[in-house]
């Protein structure tokens, strides 16, 4: 089970990973690739455990500026 994208951020993902689960960041929460990169960096700073990034393959209502 995953939380809604707005909650699937560094703090929750790292807490889940630190507790022994697999924390997940939702890429759909971010409008640019740089915002997502920064959230991944933040997560790496909060945990030394594995975590995942969920990339949705469903169409979005707003265009995402991926590079």
Query: What's the pTM value of the predicted model, to 2 decimals?
Result: 0.78
Q: C-alpha distances in angstroms, 34 versus 21, 28, 41, 66?
A: 26, 13, 10, 9
For residues 34 and 14, what is the distance between their CA atoms, to the nearest angstrom?
A: 19
pLDDT in tens, 17-66: 999 999 999 988 888 899 999 999 999 999 999 999 998 877 666 666 66
User: Using 50, 70 and 90 to split pLDDT, how confident is the model at 8?
Assistant: confident
């Amino acid at each position: 089970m995953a939380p809604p994208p707005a909650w699937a951020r560094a703090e929750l993902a790292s807490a889940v990973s630190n507790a022994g689960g697999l924390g997940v960041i939702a890429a759909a929460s971010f409008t640019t690739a740089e915002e997502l990169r920064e959230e991944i960096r933040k997560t790496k700073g909060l945990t030394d455990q594995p975590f995942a990034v969920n990339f949705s393959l469903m169409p979005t209502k707003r265009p995402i500026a991926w590079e």
